[in-house]
Amino acid sequence: MKKICCRVLTVLMSFGLLLCGNGSADALMLTLESGAFSVSNSSNSGGVFYAGSVGTWGLEVTAGSSFPLLGTESRPQMSLTSTQIIAGSADLKITLSENFGGINPDISSFYLDYQGFNVPSNKVIFNFLVNDVVIFTDSLNNPNFNIQDALANVSIGNPTKLSLQYILGPGTGTVDAALQPVPEPGTLLLLGSGLVGLAYLKRRKKA
């Protein structure tokens, strides 16, 4: 729960920067849908926010962030958080999407984390979409879940648009999702070399 609260605070604190800066990213889009009701919010500065109702649903805070607040256009990161979702009478779909230009072709897959607390156990579906096509889906039947590194071995092809999506049945709760690239082999090599160097210096200092 602390992790979710930290992500919400990070996005909210960034909104002061959003009002002052001119982002160069393509529009980040947050869409909430329930039956015939739909609400959308977009931003070119990397952060979107919504608080209010969607049909019979009430949402205390729903926030999404991406480039330039998170990651880069070539190595994208995304974060989606919706807290204190108040029971509705129909399904609720929450989608965070962004178009990226020039994603690094060396990125073969992503790390994907998603979690929920006190969500309706009758229907919780999490989807990850690439170019509007679902390439990963998970149906959860537990009101509390915490899934880590779900996409480490899933190929994403040549993406230009990435989306995180929740579909919730009637109920209450809090959901969260985060996406980041799997490190390139070269990055891992540099990290490993750095750790070895630190260990060597530590041993030398003790001697």
Distance CA 177, CA 162 (A): 13
Report pLDDT for 203: 53
Is 182 within 8 Å of 109 (Cβ atoms)?
yes
Question: Is 187's pLDDT higher than 60?
Answer: no
Question: Is 128's pLDDT higher than 80?
Answer: yes
Region 146-157 average pLDDT: 77
Domain of 73, in residue numbers: 2-206
Report pLDDT for 153: 65
Region 57-79 average pLDDT: 88
Distance CA 80, CA 177 (A): 5
Is 83 within 8 Å of 8 (Cβ atoms)?
yes
Report pLDDT for 196: 45
Distance CA 47, CA 3 (A): 18
Mean of all residue pLDDT scores within the chain: 77
Question: Is 31's pLDDT higher than 50?
Answer: yes
The pTM is what? Answer: 0.77
Q: What would the pLDDT profile of 83-116 be if each residue is shown by its tens digit? A: 878 877 788 999 999 988 767 777 777 889 999 9
Question: For the chain, what is the domain count?
Answer: 1
Which range is least confidently modeled, 11-25, 137-151, 163-177? 11-25
Question: Is 14's pLDDT higher than 70?
Answer: no
Distance CA 114, CA 24 (A): 28
Which range is least confidently modeled, 28-32, 57-61, 98-102? 98-102
CA distances to 24, 193, 194, 205 from 199, in Å: 41, 10, 9, 10
Report pLDDT for 206: 53
Distance CA 2, CA 90 (A): 29
179: domain CATH number is: 2.60.120
